[in-house]
Amino acid sequence: MEQIGTFGASRTTIRDLQLFRDETDPAIAALVAGCAVVRLASGERIDDGGQARLYIVLAGQLEIASDAHAGEDASEGTSRILPGESAGEQAVLDDAANLAAMTALEDTELLVIEPELVWTLIERSNVLARNLLRLLSFRIRAANALLRRRRKLGEFYRQLSLNDPLTGLYNRAWLNEMLPKLAARAATDGSPLSLVMIDLDHFKRFNDTHGHMAGDAALAAAAGVIRGALRPSDFAVRYGGEEMLAVLPDTPPELAAMVAERLCRRLRLAVVFPDMRLPLPHLTGSFGVASLMAGDDERSLMAAADAALYRAKEAGRDRVCA
């Protein structure tokens, strides 16, 4: 970065600068006229040791460094400063080091105003003070909009991380997070909480015989049956492999058993590929039903449902056991 002159010798006038737009006081122009103008080569960074200074682009472009985190779009955290626009105002106002990395995107000329003069200009120019407030207000709104987008994006990715991509059901990560909360709430409120654990019968044989594409379609069909048979307040989960769960808040054991029987019947009728010429065997499942008992937690509830599922398999599969 080399000084090539002062602003008074520049072809740019003070009213071409965003911060001084509408300024007519010749005394203000005289104060700015003695400020240094420097040149940056394309790709060169401003090296000022972090000192607070106000920079105004006279020609070329500056890029302000990204503050994006890993996994975010880096372009969201960068900004381009075009001719007439400024950078470094916040550092001057805060009397803090300017830590933002600023790089010339092409050969660039900058007006450099030292912080002491910035405060003098603010005190003497109502126009500058008003323009500065407008600029900072705009940047605050832009920063808030960026934060809102990041929060929405973060929530979007969080939701993706809690859903199984094949079936669209909640996944085990969701279960690990939510089942303890549901169990604790049920225990506190004294409300019933039931669980139906489902295992598709002989699924490995189905996969080996008909291929993984048919196996994936069968899992998706089974998930559709389960999801379609539950209430809006219930939750369908893919626990892993061919195992799925129905989490039933506010559901006593008798009603949970009825839900499981309905699921068992509907699964027998599930169509995997409606347009296939060669029919596939009907899907069936084994169902284990358990309900939260006094003094139990989510681990004991899961263990009880797993034990009931084992009994259903031992009894011949395609059935419900509690």
* pLDDT beyond 80 at 89: yes
Mean pLDDT of the chain: 89
| First-to-final CA distance of the chain | 78
What is the arithmetic mean of pLDDT over 48-75? 72
Segment 59-88 shows an average pLDDT of: 73
Q: Return the bridge partners of 113, or none.
A: 54
pLDDT of residue 191: 95
Q: What pTM was estimated for this model as a whole?
A: 0.57
Give the residue numbers marked as catalytic: 242
What pLDDT shows up at residue 244? 97
Can you give the pLDDT at residue 69? 40
Cα torsion 235, 236, 238, 239: sign: positive
Give me the helix-helix angle, 203-210 and 212-229, nearest 10°: 140
Please state, in angstroms and rounded to a whole number, the distance separating the CA atoms of residues 203 and 243.
10
Note whether 32 and 16 are within 8 A (CB): no
User: Sorting pLDDT into bands at 50, 70 and 90, what band is 280?
Assistant: low
Helix ranges restricted to H, the chain: 26-33, 89-94, 115-124, 126-161, 172-189, 203-210, 212-229, 253-268, 298-314
Sorted by where each starts, the structural domains of the chain and their CATH numbers stand as: 2-154 (2.60.120.10), 172-321 (3.30.70.270)
Greater pLDDT, 36 or 152? 36
Report angle CA 168, 173, 178 to the nearest 5 degrees. Answer: 95
Burial profile 273-308: b = 16 or more Cβ within 10 angstroms, e = fewer: eeeeeeebeebbbbbbbbbbeeebebeebbebbbeb
Confidence class for position 32, pLDDT limits 50, 70, 90: very high
Q: What is the CA radius of gyration of the chain?
A: 33
Alpha carbon of residue 28 to chain centroid: 47
Decide if pLDDT at 72 tops 50. no
* pLDDT digit string, tens, across residues 229-254: 999 999 999 999 999 999 999 999 99
Q: Is 210 helix (H, G, I), strand (E, B) or coil?
A: helix
What average pLDDT does range 208-213 have in this prediction? 87
pLDDT at residue 153 greater than cutoff 90: no
Phi/psi zone of residue 5: left (φ > 0), alpha (ψ -120 to 50 degrees), beta? left
pLDDT of residue 70: 38
Which has the minimum average pLDDT: 22-31, 99-108, 141-150? 141-150
If one compares 1 and 225, the residue with the highest pLDDT of the two is 225
- pLDDT reported for residue 99: 67
The pLDDT-based confidence of 73 (bands split at 50, 70, 90) is very low
Non-local CB neighbours of 202 within 8 Å, separated by 6+ positions: 317
Q: What share of the chain has pLDDT > 90, as a percent?
A: 68
- When comparing pLDDT for 154 and 286, which is higher? 286
What is the predicted pLDDT for the residue at 77? Answer: 60
**How many C-alpha atoms does 111 have within 13 Å on its Cβ side?**
31
Which residue has better confidence, 210 or 122?
122
Over residues 156-208, the pLDDT tens digits come to 777 768 899 999 999 999 999 999 999 999 999 999 999 999 999 999 998 88
Residue 68 has pLDDT above 50, yes or no: no
Q: Average pLDDT in the 32-59 region?
A: 90
- Whether 262 shows a pLDDT value over 60: the answer reads yes
Place of tokens 């769960």: 245
